Amino acid sequence: MSQDLHYKSAAALASLLDSKEISSVELTQAIIDRTQAVDDRVNAFNSFDAEDALSQATQSDERRSQGGALGPLDGIPVGIKDVLAVKGQPLTCSSKILENFVSPYDATCIENLKRSGAVLWGRLNMDEFAMGSSTENSATKTTSNPWNLDCVPGGSSGGSAAAVSAGEAPIALGSDTGGSIRQPASHCGVVGLKPTYGRVSRYGLAAFASSLDQVGPMGRTVQDVAELLQAISGYDRRDSTSYKIDVPDFPGAIERLKGKKWIFGLPKEYFAQAGSAAPLAAVEEAIAYYRSIGCEFKEISLPHTEYAVATYYIVATAEASSNLARYDGIRYTHRAEAFDGKDSVDIYHQSRAEGFGEEVKRRVILGTYVLSSGYYDAYYLKAQKTRTLIRQDFENAFQEVDAILAPTSPNPAFKKGTHTEDPLSMYLSDIYTISANLAGIPGLSVPCGYADGLPVGLQIIGKPFHEEDLVAIGHTFESAHSYCDEHPDL
């Protein structure tokens, strides 16, 4: 039995747990075994504590035997991106500066997950402080794409996407500041959802760019992603940007909105710019499918798209330069050992020089520059204004359409090393995902085919707080195709 478990959906596993065909301990052991069998090749995990996971599973089995499963995630292992605080576990953000840090508290989404009975499973690799699109900026290790080990898994939630894709976790949490859930989901052939800004609390998520960051679910099916979103969503007074709005029944939206004839927008700027032709072919086939079931299409324009990447790299780096000031070598971070300075400023300098990787330093410097007096108006203020225009483009489009369809990424997963020498070319991988973060709106990536033998994602962008629409639209496509049952050969 245990060989069969690692590629089952969380929903299928929940039924097996309910019918007592398996226990959570058996399931968790199967996931541990799978991870031990493949992770020396995939390198999705920074660390895991098998004993701790098994003890959580034992507690879940006890609850169930007393007739009290807490819900559909009770006893299901969930991989956690190494950017979220779990009390007593390492929190490294894949950075040397936090290599010995152990979190003293739980993030709100982790508290919520614990309340759902899920088994918190391991710490998943990422680009350092979530800055990157390939997971190559990790100070810990390089994660491989399970579909082709020479390729990157995407980033920054590359460990989460690779673990789900390789059967090392049925579902996982990621974070998305400019595409970091959707792009790796697309590259690894899994489903990933970035919620509306404010839907999920950011309390306990190590901040990269606070006005853009959102925690979100990844899984092998849309239903699993909806279930995980359900568990982590909701208002939290500890995050001042968390939004006081009812949390609807996300998995229930699949039935509730079934058969709806959606009106979709196709942004001409996204289709005109698509990089390699192959991802576009798969996306166009997906569009043809929706057309065949009676959905309507309108060509729309998002005229400020061409400024999105530049705007993002000003706003995000400005916020990062301020957020990362806390890692100073004085309090809880790496402190330079061979300290030869005179005062605390020297400690900051030396510790930060040693503790941060190249990309993080590049962004802190860039962010400090765009905020500095004399440049603030020309860069930061201008970017804020452009951000408003980008948001208004979406508001205008949503007057006419229910949701927008687009590629998730201009290209399938690329070979390791392709963009490491040229940061700008790496930044361009986010061209279709970044705008949703700037506008604060939700986006879902669903596997829709292959290009050059590697998975490709269809991106569905929705109105604010309309994640239900995304779930229903994504599920309609998924249930008519077999992509969620196709797995890499590992």
- Per the CB < 8 A criterion, the answer to whether 355 and 129 are in contact is no
Active-site entry in 81, 96, 194, 463: 81
CA distance 113 to 230: 10
- Active-site annotation holds for 156: yes
Nearer to ligand GLN, 394 or 427 (CB): 427
Active-site entry in 116, 156, 160, 242: 156
- Active-site annotation holds for 165: no
Burial 274-304 (b: 16+ CB within 10 A, else e): bbeebbbebbbebbebbeeeebeeeebebeb
Nearer to ligand GLN, 215 or 454 (CB): 215
Burial 246-259 (b: 16+ CB within 10 A, else e): eeeebbebbeebee
Min dist CB 162 to ligand GLN, Å, is 16
Nearer to ligand GLN, 126 or 232 (CB): 126
Nearer to ligand GLN, 124 or 300 (CB): 124
Min dist CB 85 to ligand GLN, Å, is 17
Residues paired with residue 47 on neighbouring β-strands, in sequence order = 123
Binding site for ligand GLN (CB under 6 A): 130-133, 156, 176-180, 208, 316, 430
Chain centre distance of CA 106: 19
Residue 428 neighbours by CB distance under 10 Å: 16
Nearer to ligand GLN, 111 or 176 (CB): 176
Tokens of 342: 């005179």
Which residue, judged by CB position, is nearest to ligand GLN in the bound state?
Answer: 180
- Active-site annotation holds for 211: no
Min dist CB 129 to ligand GLN, Å, is 8
CA distance 411 to 100: 36
Min dist CB 178 to ligand GLN, Å, is 3
CA distance 157 to 14: 25
The angle formed by the CA atoms of residues 16, 22 and 27, to the nearest 5 degrees, is: 100
Nearer to ligand GLN, 29 or 384 (CB): 384
Query: What's the one-letter identity of residue 201?
Result: S
Min dist CB 177 to ligand GLN, Å, is 3
**Helix or strand (DSSP H, E) at 215:** strand 214-219
Sheet hosting strand 214-219, strand order edge to edge: 45-47, 119-124, 77-81, 171-176, 214-219, 191-194, 443-451, 454-462, 403-407, 263-267, 296-300
Min dist CB 426 to ligand GLN, Å, is 7
Min dist CB 416 to ligand GLN, Å, is 16
Min dist CB 135 to ligand GLN, Å, is 10
Closest CA to 327 of 300, 354, 308: 354
Nearer to ligand GLN, 28 or 196 (CB): 196
Active-site entry in 23, 133, 165, 180: 180
Nearer to ligand GLN, 358 or 485 (CB): 358
Residue 338 neighbours by CB distance under 10 Å: 6
- Per the CB < 8 A criterion, the answer to whether 419 and 134 are in contact is yes
Tokens of 375: 């440049």
Question: What DSSP line would sit under 422-482, residue for residue?
Answer: -HHHHHGGGTTTHHHHHHT--EEEEEEEEETTEEEEEEEEE-TT-HHHHHHHHHHHHHTS-
- Tell me which residues are annotated as active site: 81, 156, 180
